[in-house]
């Protein structure tokens, strides 16, 4: 999946211009996430509120294909409907080959909380969670919330 970042100048109304505030536009899977350049932010505001939710799931040996198929059919459509497109969704190639990861981008903690709360309330998602638990393929889950380094525009 290609992620591009490009700085553009936007006027206060949001139109693209040759002058005004620099906005970094990240495009990932057709989704634009805009963030202001740090020099234009209020000094009290953190430079980058955006967070990434990095999730690693480990399956019992020999069950990752079954788990991925279950998720693809029952979890993927619902999760994307509520969380949008992930930045990354991948199976591990080296190291723990029984694991897969996904990374989701959120504007900030409140955005993450609201989207995840909506997901948890969706009957299709709770049905998937039940099917996944009954399948017994997963043995661990590790979540890390990440923030971009100050020099990285996102």
| Gyration radius (Cα) of the chain, Å | 18
Residue 8 lies in a domain: yes
Same domain, 139 and 101: yes
Phi/psi-derived region of residue 22, left when phi > 0, alpha when psi is between -120 and 50, beta in every other case: beta
Are residue 58 and residue 118 in the same domain, yes or no? yes
Is residue 53 within 8 Å of residue 143, measured between CB atoms?
yes
Domain extent for 16:
3-39
For residues 113 and 55, state if they share a domain: yes
The CATH code of the domain that includes 119 is: 3.30.70.100
- Is 115 inside a domain boundary? yes
User: What are 37-78's pLDDT values in tens digits?
Assistant: 444 444 444 445 789 999 999 999 999 999 999 999 999 999
Please report the pLDDT score of residue 154 as a whole number. 57
Confidence band, pLDDT 50/70/90 cuts, at residue 123: very high
Considering the domain architecture, whether residues 13 and 55 belong to the same structural domain is answered as: no
pTM, 2 dp = 0.68
Residue 12 forms part of a structural domain = yes
């Amino acid at each position: 999946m290609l992620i591009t970042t490009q700085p553009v100048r936007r006027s206060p109304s949001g139109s693209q211009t040759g002058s005004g505030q620099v906005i970094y536009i990240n495009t990932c899977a057709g989704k634009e996430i805009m963030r202001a350049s740090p020099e234009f932010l209020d000094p009290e505001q953190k430079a980058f509120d955006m967070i990434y939710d990095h999730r690693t799931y480990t399956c019992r040996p020999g069950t990752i294909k079954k788990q991925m198929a279950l998720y693809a059919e029952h979890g993927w459509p619902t999760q994307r409907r509520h969380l949008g497109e992930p930045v990354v969704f991948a199976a591990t190639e080296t190291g723990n080959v029984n694991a897969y990861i996904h990374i989701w981008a959120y504007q900030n903690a409140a955005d993450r909380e609201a989207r995840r709360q909506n997901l948890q309330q969706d009957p299709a998602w709770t049905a998937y969670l039940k099917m996944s638990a009954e399948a017994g393929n997963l043995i661990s889950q590790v979540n890390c919330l990440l923030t971009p380094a100050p020099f990285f525009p996102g």
